[in-house]
Amino acid sequence: MKNIIKITLKAAAVLLVNSVLGSCHEADLEFAHNDNLIHQLSMMKSAQQDTPIYFTITEYDGDGNEITGDITPENVAGGYGMACVHVPFNLYDEVDLHKVYLSAQVTYDAIITPGLTGLHDITGEGIVVSVRAGNGKTRKYRIYGQFD
């Protein structure tokens, strides 16, 4: 009986060590994306709103030049993005840019910091977020809104 308990404890210890050491390694870079772009950004004036309002995203390269056409992480590397929503002035009483919900479309392994959960104030200078790709490269975006 003592032998069975000893064998069981040794097996449990080996399994525990394997699970701790084997599951905490970095992802293989061949599977990590280099895409740190926000592909689409929208806002909702309330959690119950049916129709999102979409932002216009302008991308800049490392030299501050606006990039148009085919936008890839490679041709905008070192740059930043500006995301602006132009809300029609006739919605001034309905939309409060001090309290909006944001939603972004990014690749599955990209992380936005600070997160977009909850309400955000995008008036004036708005907010600045960083998008970190799976390969660790980051890109900053300024998100703001204005009435036209």
Decide if 123 contacts 98 (C-beta within 8 A).
Answer: yes
- From CA 83, how far away is CA 47, in angstroms rounded? 21
Residue 3, CA atoms < 13 Å, CB-side half-sphere: 0
Q: What is the pLDDT of residue 114?
A: 96
Q: Which of 88, 85, 61 is nearest to 72 (CA)?
A: 61
Check whether 48 has a pLDDT greater than 80.
no
Check whether 59 has a pLDDT greater than 60.
yes
Q: pLDDT tens digits, residue range 66-83?
A: 999 999 999 999 999 999
Domains within the chain, CATH numbers bracketed: 29-147 (2.60.40.2340)
Q: What's CA 71's distance to the chain center, in Å?
A: 17
- Read off the pTM: 0.77
Check whether 62 has a pLDDT greater than 90.
yes
Q: What is the pLDDT of residue 45?
A: 78
